[in-house]
Amino acid sequence: MASKVTSTQVGIIGAGPAGLLLSHLLHREGIDSVVLEARDRAYVEQRVRAGVCEQPTVDLLDEIGLGTRLHAEGLPHHGFSLRFDGEDHRIALTELTGKSITVYGQQEIVKDLIAAHAGPPIEFEVSDVDVHGIASDTPSVTYTDSGGHRRELRCEVIAGCDGFHGISRRAIPAGALRTFDREYPFAWLGVLAKTPPSDEELIYTHHERGFALHSMRSPEITRLYLQVAPDEDIAAWPDERIFAELRARLATTGGFALHEGPVLDKGVTPMRSFVAEPMRYGSLFLAGDAAHIVPPTGAKGMNLAVADVVVLSRALSDLLRHNDSAGVESYSDTCLRRVWRAEHFSWFMTSMLHVDPAADGFGRRLQLSQLRYTASSTAAATSLAENYVGLPFT
């Protein structure tokens, strides 16, 4: 049966923060787009992902009128603790940089973007997605809609915002991309617990038993992480074992009371660094996790996706409204400068805080030396804080 053909200016694959924000920004510029998503709406709005919004991300959401719920429900943070040697060493973000971060779950931003979505409805539950003609100026996307009907979407540009495992990056011909990849010898076991946070701020902990992170999602929900092996079996971690290990790693010489409660969700997340260059091939532009992955230690993943689509929306506006191609020609280089800075920062935080099972005593002492220097040097703490609160989008 023949496909039903529709047209738009920008076809967007993926309804995560990158795809939804790009559609929103383009609509503000009078540019039409269609968003295609493999999952259903309920799944997209509930999947637990990142929770730290950099200052530039918060400023952008305010600028486009989507910051109301973030400020009502999000948790602003003006510092966080590096915990090692059984002691806390506060990194005073606002004092050092004049900026802060806000804890507000990625799924909440997705909900806000879906609620504010204008233009053609988001097409959820699509399958068999494929892209065509990306080396030309008449690309298209074919897919099967939620009703089982075959569709063809003709567009001027395709934005691949479908994550690391999506089809967009794989559609680029072999040899056209250079990829840089690093896998780490550990993973994070993350839990969402129904209990008030045990501290007002995030706690990044270096401990001989492995890294631990105390975070939060709301005044009633705590987010906690433990360093584990990449092949760790989640079934081997009942709730009581998780909290016992958290108590051991988060302990301080002055005593630290960890609040415990029912575990609402838990899972193991492998850690890797990945970058694909360039972030464009012909009429196909990659954004967010489709182009790059960072280990979560630096809290950069979602914020990098936001930065990408800010640059991309401006470039596409210039191209489609004014026939000015300068922005799209420089898109990849502009984004990659910020991407590689975030990659380095995320690697730095990961290397400083985690226990490498293959490291010798020399390596362990280097970690402690870096931690002690960062905690005692205003210059080192300022550099960390500046990267953590977020560099400018361009």
SS3 assignment for the chain? CCCEEEECCEEEECCCHHHHHHHHHHHHCCCCEEEECCCCHHHHHHCCCCCEECHHHHHHHHHCCCCHHHHHHCEEECCEEEEECCEEEEECHHHHHCCCEEECCHHHHHHHHHHCCCCCCCECCCEEEEEECCCCCCCEEEEECCCCCEEEEECCEEEECCCCCCCCHHHCCCCCCEEEEEEEEEEEEEEEECCCCCCCCCEEECCCCCCEEEEEEECCEEEEEEEECCCCCHHHCCHHHHHHHHHHHHCCCCCCCCCCCCEEEEEEEEEEEEEEECCEECCEEECHHHCEECCHHHCCHHHHHHHHHHHHHHHHHHHHHHCCCHHHHHHHHHHHHHHHHHHHHHHHHHHHHCCCCCCCHHHHHHHHHHHHHHHHCHHHHHHHHHHHHCCCCC
Residue 352, in any domain of the structure: no
Choice among 143, 281, 331, 388 that is catalytic: 388
Residues 235 and 381 in one domain: yes
The pLDDT of residue 60 is: 98
Q: Calculate mean pLDDT across residues 350-357.
A: 96
Distance CA 369, CA 375 (A): 10
In a domain? residue 93: yes
Residues 257 and 190 occupy one common structural domain: yes
Per-residue pLDDT tens over the stretch 313-331: 999 999 999 999 999 999 9
Q: Are residues 369 and 291 located together in one domain of the fold?
A: no
Pairing mode, strands 33-36 and 52-53: unpaired
Total structural domains within the chain: 2
Domain contains 133? yes
Q: Are residues 313 and 325 located together in one domain of the fold?
A: yes
Task: Say if 394 falls within a structural domain.
Answer: no
Q: Do 249 and 133 share a structural domain? A: no
In a domain, 62, yes or no: yes
Tens digit of pLDDT for each residue in 369-388? 999 999 999 999 999 999 99
Q: Report the CATH number at residue 258.
A: 3.30.9.10
Which pLDDT value is given to residue 48?
72
Q: Is residue 372 part of a domain?
A: yes
- Would you give the distance in Å from CA 338 to the centre of its chain? 14
- Asked about 266 being catalytic, the answer comes back as no
117: annotated active-site residue: no
State the catalytic residue, choosing from 139, 197, 295, 296: 296
- Asked if 342 and 380 sit in the same domain, the reply is no
The structure's pTM equals: 0.95
First-to-final CA distance of the chain: 46
Give me the pLDDT at residue 2, please: 60
Is residue 300 among the annotated active site residues?
A: yes
- Same domain, yes or no: 252 and 229: yes
Residue 93 shares a structural domain with residue 218: yes
Which of 292, 300, 331, 354 is catalytic? The answer is 300
Specify the CATH number for the domain of residue 49: 3.50.50.60
CA angle 370, 372, 374 (to 5 degrees): 65
Q: How confident is the model at residue 6 (pLDDT cuts 50, 70, 90)?
A: very high
**204 is an active site residue:** yes
- Domain carrying residue 253: 80-104+184-271+357-389
Are residues 145 and 22 both part of a single domain? Answer: yes
Count of CB atoms situated within 10 Å of the CB of 221: 18
- What percent of the chain shows pLDDT beyond 90? 95
Which among 120, 102, 124 is positioned nearest to 45, based on CA atoms?
Answer: 124
Residue 215 shares a structural domain with residue 299: no
Q: How far apart are CA 324 and CA 348, in angstroms?
A: 38
- Which residue is catalytic, options 104, 143, 204, 225? 204
Distance CA 46, CA 40 (A): 10
Report if residue 310 sits inside a domain: yes
**51: in domain:** yes
Instruction: Please tell me whether residues 191 and 258 are part of one structural domain.
Output: yes
* Known catalytic residue at 194: no
Residue 211 and residue 128 in one domain? no
Over 90: is that where the pLDDT of 3 sits? no
Catalytic residue among 77, 99, 214, 354: 77
Give the pLDDT score at 46.
87
